[in-house]
Structure 1
Amino acid sequence: MFVLLVTVVTASVVAFHNLSDSTSLQSVDQTRKRAVDLKPEAAYNLIHTILFGVLALSTMRMKYLWTSHMCVFASFGLCSSEIWELLLRLVHLCNPKRIWVLRYSVPVLTLLYLCCKSWPGMMDELSELKEFYDPDTVELMNWINSNTPRKAVFAGSMQLLAGVKLCTGRTLTNHPHYEDKSLRERTQAVYQIYAKRSPEEVHELLRSFGTDFVILEDSICYERRHHRGCRLRDLLDVANGHEMDGPGESDPDLRPADHPRFCEEIKRNLPSYAAHFTRVFQNKTFHVYKLSRNK
């Protein structure tokens, strides 16, 4: 604000004299002399800074445009011999030595002040490692890397498969980084693992995509964070025409499902499920099943 105030006043004075009607040689010389106090490039950036400042005040997300100009302008003001010369002229203390001292000492003192002020906060930030801590996911990724073929195909939720792709490089049934109509339909088909479908239906759907392993997440299967009707399993039930779980009335066009929820029932290891799915890994969060190749 200090630099802006000085440069705006200087620009106003220069503009006033440049637009005045005085045509005498003396006035022209004075105008040229004053114009030296604000170079064209400084005036150009001043206009941008003011315009971006107004934009930032009106629209908060546009402040990123103003930030860079504020930094440039602040450094220009503190290190500019023209600015210090102008200020020293106003107090009648102008000489080259004082200009040189202020031009170099003020930026150094400013940096030292900022370092002293920011040092405790910076050290507090560095003391917090903020490392990724999710032992169940780490255990899953290590197991996949160590116990599955490189060409194995995995099915699961989109957010989990993004980690599988990043950490293991395995092939996915529904790639999380791209989207089109076909992929959305494929994702809905894969998500039937959280719907009320028979093991034969789920196995047939997954094998049609070449799936070798399917990963089930308890956080999705038993989700309680969202209200009834907003959970993934509720969306799948409605899409399949099945009544939703939990207290509350369902739409009249929904009917009771013929089969229990797949992600819950498969953990009982009943013969109808064991014939198509073999559990090969589990922890507190994830359950991995290998699909049999028989139809």
Structure 2
Amino acid sequence: MLPNAADVGAAPTRGLQRFDPIALPVAPGIPKAPKIELPGLPAYAPQNMPSQDIIRSRATLTLKARLTEDGEPIPNGLVWRLFSAIPAIDGRATLIASSESSEANFEVPAGSYILHVGFGRAGVVKRIDFTGVKTQETITLNAGGLRLDAMVGDGQTIEPARLSFDVYSDAETESDRDLIASDVPPNKVLRLNAGTYHIVSSYGSVNASVRADIRVEPGKVTDATLQHRAALLTMKLVRELGGEAIADTAWSVTTASGDPVRESVGAFPSMVLASGDYVIVARNNDKVYQRAFAVEPGQNTDVEVLTSDLAETPDPLAGSGD
């Protein structure tokens, strides 16, 4: 006869509502195990309901930008970046979303954010407290444009490839200025925050430069033309005026007081020099030739050094040979 399931501690066949302790079988002659009180466990683990923030559709934060308070929305060229207002463990701001559209639409949860909107080199940073309700906000950049050019002499244009501009922030001293943009070509519109900027115009790469402080007005393109006092020189070592240039010639240019300005090698070296007095030195086949020359603003010319212009004194840039 088979033993009763209850007599050997087998679990009942009824559906379990709780995980109750199961009685162990007791064999004859073996003492009964001590009773252990265990907490009852539910037969299933209840599932957490999804967060309301997940199942609820997020509202949109819509952002537009304009140059001035009464200006029209900017149609293109904007870069939007939305950061968390709470910095990360390393102290850096966490980027939440970005856009390059004229109108930024961010679907983000309610909270505080740091917004940076850039327009060229103009930009603004603003704290946004988003309530989670569909919101539209327009940001005023208070920015404008700056277009630079330069001329030389009595209004002569300058070859664009030889002209560039550096734009600095306004400050009392040179060391306190920050470089905003470098090697800016002529007639390019720079987008800048409204304010005063220090401009350095370089004609060539030697010593012809001029400076000016220029104010950028909001909502406008400011045109500025700087005036250079310099000229483009092409140097030649010849045996007679109008003769053929002698190759393998090394050139040195110093000021009238002997300060080095530029060195070059070649039959036809060209350079732009600021107006003033210079000494041009040519070295060829261990011989040194020199000529004094005055640079006049806008007077581009060929400077010929004759082989008869032997230097009366040693080359000021030549070493002692030791």
Identify whether the pair has TM-score above 0.5, normalized to the shorter chain.
no
Q: What is the TM-score normalised by the length of structure 1?
A: 0.25
Q: Going by fraction, where is helix more abundant, 1 or 2?
A: 1
Q: Which has the larger radius of gyration?
A: 2
Q: Going by fraction, where is strand more abundant, 1 or 2?
A: 2
